[in-house]
C-alpha cells in the first residue's frame, strides 16, 4: 500500500524531533544501539564505510558526524586519499554537532536535506554511505531511488540495515526491547527481514557487490550499473 504524503511527512517530522537531543547524547545512545540492537561493532562499521569513499562522496543522514570523523582518521592512518564529501541530515540539531565537529574543513559540505527529495544533479557522486540510518526512513523506496539517481554509473553504495532480532533468546529479547523503545521514541521507523530488505535493494536498480549478515545487521556494498555502450 502506498503511504499518504501527509503520513510520510508526519513520520519524517517525528524522527526529526526524536533526534533533537544534544549531539553528545546521540553519540552515547548510538553506541548502545549499535552494540545491543545491531549487535555489531564500531570496527566493522569503520571498515565497511571507510573503504567506500570515492573522490566525490555523499554521506546520507550524517547525524553528528562522529562516525565519519572516526572513518576519516582511519583513512589517514591507512594512507588513503582525501576526498570531497557532502553530508546531510533531516535533523537540524544533529547538523549543529556535525558543523562544530568539521569546522574549518572546506572539503566537507554539510546540508539540511530530506533523503527522499535531494537537490543534487543526476549522477554527481562517486559513492554514498547510509550508516545506521536505513531504519529511520519512512519512505525507503523513495530514499533509495534518490540515492541511486545521484550516483554516477559505476558508483557504489555502502549501507547497514537493522534486522529483526535473531540469535539466542536473551540477546534477541534485549534487542527487541531496544527496538520497542526506539519506535516509541521515534528514532526507529522499522527494522527489516533479511529477504525483504535485500529485495528492496536489488529492486532499486543496484547490483550486489558484497553482503553479510552479522548479529542483527545486514551489511551491503552495491554498485550502480554502468551505462550501456
- In order, the DSSP letters of 15-43 are HHHHT-S-HHHHHHHHHHHHHHTS---HH
CATH number at residue 77: 3.40.50.150
Answer yes or no: is pLDDT of 2 > 50. Answer: no
Q: Which of 223, 209, 48 is CA-nearest to residue 125?
A: 223
Overall domain count for the chain: 1
12 within some domain:
yes
Task: Please answer whether residues 98 and 64 qualify as being in contact, where contact means their C-beta atoms are separated by less than 8 angstroms.
Answer: yes
Cell of 20: 533533537
What is the pLDDT, as a whole number, of residue 117?
94
228 within some domain:
no
143 within some domain:
yes
Supply the range of the domain harboring residue 91. 5-223
Say what the pTM is.
0.89
**Residue 136, SS3?**
helix
229 within some domain:
no
Question: Regarding beta strands 56-60 and 125-130, do their DSSP bridges make them parallel or antiparallel, or are they unpaired?
Answer: parallel
Q: What is the pLDDT of residues 59-115, one digit of tens each?
A: 999 999 999 999 999 999 999 999 999 999 998 888 998 999 999 999 999 999 999
Q: What is the mean pLDDT of the chain?
A: 90
Q: What is the pLDDT of residues 188-213, one digit of tens each?
A: 899 999 999 999 999 999 999 999 99
Amino acid at each position: 500500500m502506498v503511504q499518504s504524503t501527509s503520513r510520510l511527512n508526519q513520520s519524517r517530522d517525528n524522527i526529526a524531533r526524536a533526534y533533537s537531543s544534544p549531539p553528545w547524547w546521540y553519540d552515547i545512545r548510538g553506541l548502545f544501539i549499535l552494540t545491543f540492537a545491531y549487535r555489531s561493532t564500531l570496527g566493522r562499521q569503520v571498515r565497511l564505510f571507510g573503504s567506500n569513499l570515492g573522490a566525490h562522496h555523499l554521506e546520507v543522514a550524517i547525524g553528528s558526524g562522529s562516525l565519519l570523523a572516526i572513518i576519516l582518521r582511519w583513512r589517514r592512518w591507512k594512507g588513503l586519499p582525501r576526498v570531497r564529501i557532502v553530508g546531510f541530515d533531516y535533523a537540524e540539531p544533529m547538523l549543529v554537532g556535525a558543523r562544530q565537529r568539521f569546522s574549518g574543513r572546506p572539503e566537507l559540505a554539510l546540508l539540511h536535506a530530506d533523503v527522499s527529495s535531494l537537490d543534487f544533479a543526476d549522477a554527481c557522486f562517486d559513492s554514498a554511505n547510509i550508516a545506521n540510518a536505513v531504519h529511520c526512513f519512512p519512505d525507503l523506496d523513495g530514499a533509495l531511488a534518490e540515492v541511486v539517481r545521484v550516483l554516477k554509473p559505476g558508483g557504489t553504495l555502502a549501507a547497514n540495515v537493522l534486522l529483526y532480532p535473531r540469535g539466542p533468546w536473551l540477546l534477541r529479547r534485549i534487542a527487541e526491547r531496544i527496538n520497542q523503545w526506539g519506535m516509541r521514541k521515534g528514532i526507529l521507523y522499522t527494522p527489516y527481514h533479511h529477504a525483504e530488505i535485500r529485495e528492496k535493494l536489488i529492486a532499486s536498480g543496484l547490483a550486489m557487490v558484497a553482503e553479510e549478515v552479522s548479529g542483527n545487521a545486514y551489511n551491503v556494498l552495491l554498485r550502480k550499473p554502468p551505462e550501456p555502450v
